[in-house]
Amino acid sequence: MDDLKLYAETEKKLVSLIENVKTFTEDVCMEFGFDKCAKCTIKKGKKTTSENIRFNDGLIEDLGEDATYKYLGIEENLTVEHEKMRHKVEQEYTSRLKKILKSELSPKNKITAINQLAIPVITYGFGIIDWPQYSINRLDTKTRKLLTLHKIIYRNQCMDRIYLPRREGGLGLTEINHAYRATIVSMGKYIKSSTDMTIEIVRDHHERLPQQTSVTKLAENFGGVILENTAEVYDNPATQIARKKRKKYTEIETDTGKQGWEQHKRAGKFLEELKQEYIDRDASLQWLKSGRLPFDEERLIVASQDQGLLTNRLKKMAGLQANGQCRFCHSAIESPSHLMSACPILLADGLYTARHNKVCKYLHWKICGEMQLDRATNIWEHEPPPITSNGKVTVFYDKDIQAGRYIKDKAIKPDIVIWNKPERTALIIDVTVPNDFGLNRAEREKITKYQDLKMI
Ligand SMILES: [Zn+2]
């Protein structure tokens, strides 16, 4: 037995109630915690000061005029101290948020920590403490500002993407506004569906409250169509119905988020490409799901996918400068995709080749490990030789293929060939690092390149 509230008409009746509880407590060999108890007298709706209640072994103090009593972590006096609680909750939330962001966790773990350690401070009181919409919005804005400051998200990031789950390509942060609405929808549904006598009293009370503080009225406002369908009320326990409505509400919010991202004029293009049938969607989002990138690297990739890097094109679009040309070649518009894979100057400088070779080197190192061939212990020490063999398997690295017959144009030089002697098979690996929007074309080009090798 814990967290008990006793209500009585008179002081005398209250003492008798407490004595009952006290006797019961002692009967089950528990102790009565006087220091955690408080008493509050209300006369004609107003709080009045009254005597402490004395017992042989202690006393229950009267709750003073300004003092509050903490019941289940929420400050109460005559009623719940809404404003005071909101202020306290916000302070605690911000302090936890800052501590998490200053930690050395990876961006994904920081977001998980915020969802599990900071946001519950606020969500705990939903439905008990009144939260005006502007306060909720302010909390979400404040969170995003701090995330930008600590390099988790980039400035002017597509908002919907922050709040989508990672398997959907988002960052997986819980939006306080969604959490609030989902809680109210499910709580409102619970109050409406429960057949419990005491909950019925709660329902009547909420029906009489004004629109902005009544949980049932707010639930109708937020939930709308989801809350309709009264047929199930008598079939299921109220908790189950409430849980289902919450799930449904979250699903709808996720869909709305996806639409928002899709309609975003910069970031939406990536999502559109992700939907193409030649794209392995799950594999493309794996890096985000596993979230191993440290510090601000995740932000950098998300920003470039969203075309949100501060390139000259974006600066021109934002009216910050008149010229949108590439800072290196001055011949094309400077967009993230131009910089990453289309700038002739960067190509001539060998930057794209170096990136390509790094990928090949990594693949070679992995293949050698898999095939039990010689390799350096660490990837950064690995220098692939042209031929690696163990008698059974031979791996060729960046070596001409002797085709044995005429090949159009020029000799073929794939990045890696795995030649399996017993099985008489050759696996040709040719690496290309195209930009997000050139994947299909790059794949087709690579396949066409090797068509001449086909046995007719
Ligand atoms: Zn350029």
pLDDT tens digits, one per residue of 22-46? 888 889 888 878 878 888 888 887 7
The pLDDT tens digits of the residues spanning 96-111 come to: 999 999 999 999 999 9
Of 98 and 407, the structure prediction assigns the larger pLDDT to: 98
Distance 269 CA to ligand 1 centre (A): 21
Distance 317 CA to ligand 1 centre (A): 18
Asked whether 94 and 142 are in contact (CB, 8 A), the reply is yes
Identify each DSSP E strand in 258-305 by its residue range: none
Distance 343 CA to ligand 1 centre (A): 4
For the entire predicted model, the pTM comes to 0.82
Distance 330 CA to ligand 1 centre (A): 6
Which pLDDT value is given to residue 366?
A: 94
What gap in Å lies between CA 453 and CA 386, rounded to an integer? 21
Evaluate the CA torsion angle 176, 181, 184, 189 in order and state its sign. negative
Distance 341 CA to ligand 1 centre (A): 9
Distance 313 CA to ligand 1 centre (A): 12
Distance 436 CA to ligand 1 centre (A): 17
Cross-strand bridge partners of residue 211: none
Distance 287 CA to ligand 1 centre (A): 28
Which residue from 59, 85, 83 is spatially nearest to 71, judged by alpha carbons? 85
Distance 422 CA to ligand 1 centre (A): 48
CA atoms within 13 A on the CB side of 299: 19
Distance 326 CA to ligand 1 centre (A): 5
Tell me the domain boundaries of the chain: 11-67, 180-264, 363-453
The pLDDT tens digits of the residues spanning 358-384 come to: 999 999 999 999 999 989 999 999 999
List the shell of residues around ion ligand 1, using CB closer than 5 Å.
326, 328-329, 343
Q: Is the pLDDT of residue 79 over 60?
A: yes
Which pLDDT value is given to residue 235?
A: 58
The pLDDT tens digits of the residues spanning 140-169 come to: 999 999 999 999 999 888 999 999 999 999
Q: Is the pLDDT of residue 428 over 80?
A: yes
The pLDDT tens digits of the residues spanning 195-251 come to: 888 999 999 999 999 988 899 899 988 887 777 765 555 556 888 888 888 898 999
Number of helices and strands (H, E) in the chain?
Answer: 18, 10
